[in-house]
């Protein structure tokens, strides 16, 4: 399903004649905060650290009030750290935009240095789908030309731990099943079905399944 042009973020350059935008969106704030910047893990770490410090002080003879007051000083770095991660989440989300057109996938990112990764649909060999309980999820893309994909520059829009063969990834996409279906139809319309066969897999909860059951090289 296409959206009205007024809903689209400005692209780095006008699209060629005949090419149209099929979908555009950005990562969810919750997904970036919890799964990219691991804010929940950081909060749990500081909570355990505060409890441990209070117990340690109390076991060494301090009163409960003194032990609690001493441990409470850790709230300052805890709040500061979480505030910094919240700011980074906001900045990275604001700078990010995913666009699926009838010819390509565009990943716009970069807080200080904006960049755009242009992935022709003909370069996509395989795509995986990870859907979570809230309907959001990730779509990693395995492409033919991996030499121009920089893990550092594209982070966090990159599949984790794939350092030797980096895979660009649409991260924490809302309504990921619908986005996957849009990408599937776009690739089918662009490529010879004999080259790449994309099928959407139904998922329930945080599971992972391939969108493609073929890894035959695709021709642009």
Could you tell me the residue ranges of all domains in the chain?
19-26+103-210, 35-91
Report pTM: 0.77
Side-by-side strand order, sheet with 137-143:
169-173, 137-143, 124-131, 207-210
Report the 10 Å Cβ neighbour count for 212. Answer: 21
Predicted confidence pLDDT, tens digits, the chain (220 residues): 444 444 556 777 788 888 889 999 999 999 999 999 999 999 999 999 999 999 998 888 788 888 888 888 999 999 999 999 999 999 999 999 999 999 999 999 988 888 889 999 988 888 889 999 888 999 999 888 756 677 888 899 999 888 778 889 999 999 999 999 999 999 888 765 444 444 433 344 444 444 443 333 333 3
State how far the Cα of 151 lies from the Cα of 154, in Å rounded to an integer: 5
CB 24 within 8 A of CB 98: yes
Helix (H, G, I), strand (E, B) or coil at 160: coil
From 75, 97, 98, 95, select the one nearest 87 (Cα to Cα): 95
């Amino acid at each position: 399903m296409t959206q009205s042009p007024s809903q689209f973020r400005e692209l780095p350059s006008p699209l060629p004649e005949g090419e149209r935008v099929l979908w555009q969106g950005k990562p969810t704030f919750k997904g970036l905060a919890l799964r990219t910047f691991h804010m929940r893990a950081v909060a749990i770490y500081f909570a355990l650290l505060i409890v441990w410090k209070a117990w340690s002080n109390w076991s060494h003879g301090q009163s409960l009030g003194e032990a609690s007051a001493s441990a409470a000083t850790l709230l300052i770095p805890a709040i500061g750290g979480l505030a910094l991660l919240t700011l980074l989440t906001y900045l990275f989300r604001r700078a990010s935009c995913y666009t699926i057109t009838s010819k390509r996938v565009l990943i716009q990112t970069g807080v200080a240095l904006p960049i755009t990764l242009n992935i022709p649909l003909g370069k996509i060999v395989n795509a995986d789908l990870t859907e979570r309980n809230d309907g959001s999820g990730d779509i990693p893309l395995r492409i033919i030309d991996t030499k121009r994909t920089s893990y550092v520059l594209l982070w966090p829009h990159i599949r984790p731990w794939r350092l030797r063969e980096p895979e660009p990834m649409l991260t924490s996409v809302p309504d990921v099943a619908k986005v996957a279906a849009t990408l599937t139809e776009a690739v089918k319309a662009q490529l010879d079905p004999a080259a790449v066969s994309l099928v959407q897999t139904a998922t329930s909860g945080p599971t992972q399944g391939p969108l493609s059951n073929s890894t035959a090289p695709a021709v642009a």
